[in-house]
Amino acid sequence: MLENKIEQALNDQIAMEGYASFLYLSMASWCEQQGLEGTSQFFYRQSAEEHDHMMRIFRYILEMDGKAVSPEVKQPPQKFESIQKIFDDVYEHEQKVTRSISKLVELADEMDDHTTYQFLQWFVLEQREEETLVRSILDKLKIIGDGPQSLYFIDKEVTMINEREGGSPGE
Ligand code: FEO
């Protein structure tokens, strides 16, 4: 059984993960329209992963006999300035998610909810990996640049990173 406060915080996290899934889907669409096939595949995969994160929490709440809430759909931006701006935004968003997960961990700890505390450890690790992944792409962008001539090379780099991370389940 979950305390109301924890259940509410977990449902807020569901909404955050759901939004991330739609945000990355929007980025995938924009990248595909720009002819950045590899980068769009990267974002389809990220979108699917965020959906998986959302469902992990959703299933957990129900397993704990709570009420999992399907979140409101807020439309993410449809247009993006540049590849650099996209990855800056992704990094910022992932840091926000990390802070939110940390607060959830703190709350579970304060409320002596060891089961939720344990459940959240997977997310702590996942966030660390996601931030590292995005930072590695930002580092590449710093070297390659994001001018028109660089886009081909960026797309190739992101394709390689995507394949290393496990392909493109977005298809
Ligand atoms: Fe599930 Fe990338 O936050």
Phi and psi (nearest 5°) for 165? -85, -5
Q: What is the mean pLDDT of residues 90-106?
A: 98
Q: 100-110 pLDDT, tens per residue?
A: 999 999 999 99
Q: Does residue 142 carry a pLDDT above 70?
A: yes
Q: What is the mean pLDDT of residues 74-101?
A: 96
Å from CA of 102 to ligand 1 middle: 13
Q: How confident is the model at residue 56 (pLDDT cuts 50, 70, 90)?
A: very high
Give pTM, 2 decimals. Answer: 0.92
* Cβ–Cβ under 8 Å, residues 49 and 97: no
Q: 10-53 pLDDT, tens per residue?
A: 999 999 999 999 999 999 999 999 999 999 999 999 999 999 99
Å from CA of 98 to ligand 1 middle: 8
Using alpha carbons, select from 92, 94, 88, 79 the residue that is nearest to residue 141.
Answer: 88
- Domains, the chain: 4-165 (1.20.1260.10)
Rounded to an integer, what distance in angstroms lies between the CA atom of residue 90 and that of residue 101?
A: 16
Q: Whose CA is nearest to atom 2 of ligand 1?
A: 94
User: What confidence score (pLDDT) does residue 164 get?
Assistant: 87
Least reliable range by pLDDT among 32-41, 88-97, 143-152: 143-152
Using alpha carbons, select from 13, 40, 12, 36 the residue that is nearest to residue 26.
Answer: 40
Report the pocket of ligand 1 as residue ranges, CB < 6 Å: 17, 20, 50, 53, 94, 97, 130
